[in-house]
């Protein structure tokens, strides 16, 4: 079972491209994506165990520290089951029209 951390960053405006270029080159980074609002960047990292994850995470934090206003670390719970959604998205059936709507 792999260990995972979600890093939520507030990157300074006009520094997104720079941050994503740096982040995408770092070992262990699975996803670096821009979000709407704040925080404005999501980084997902994976490693074989927690110790390795910590070792990989330090260069990430150091590489974008000078363009980051805020950060939150969300570490996956050890031993928790992983969920993988591979099927189609669930779309609710259309509701019947009523006099209230």
**CATH label of the domain that carries residue 15:** 3.30.70.920
Is the pLDDT at 87 greater than 70, yes or no?
no
User: Long-range CB contacts (< 8 A, 24+ apart) of 85-91?
Assistant: none
DSSP-assigned letter for residue 38: S
Q: Which domain holds residue 33?
A: 3-75
Residue 65 in any domain: the answer is yes
Residue 82 in any domain: the answer is no
pTM of the model: 0.73
The three-class DSSP label of residue 4 is: strand
Residue 20 in any domain: the answer is yes
Residue 37 in any domain: the answer is yes
Residue 99 in any domain: the answer is no
pLDDT on residue 29 = 94
pLDDT tens digits for 13-48? Answer: 889 899 989 998 999 999 999 999 999 999 999 998
Total domains, the chain = 1
């Amino acid at each position: 079972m792999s260990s995972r951390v979600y890093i939520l960053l507030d990157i300074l405006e006009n520094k997104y491209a720079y941050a994503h270029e740096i982040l995408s080159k770092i070992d262990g980074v699975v996803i670096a994506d821009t979000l709407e609002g704040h925080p404005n960047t999501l980084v997902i990292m994976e490693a074989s165990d927690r110790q390795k994850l910590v070792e990989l995470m330090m260069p990430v934090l150091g590489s974008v520290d000078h363009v980051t206003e805020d950060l939150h670390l969300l570490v996956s719970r050890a031993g928790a089951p992983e969920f993988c959604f591979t099927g189609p998205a669930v779309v609710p059936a259309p509701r019947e029209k009523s006099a209230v709507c």
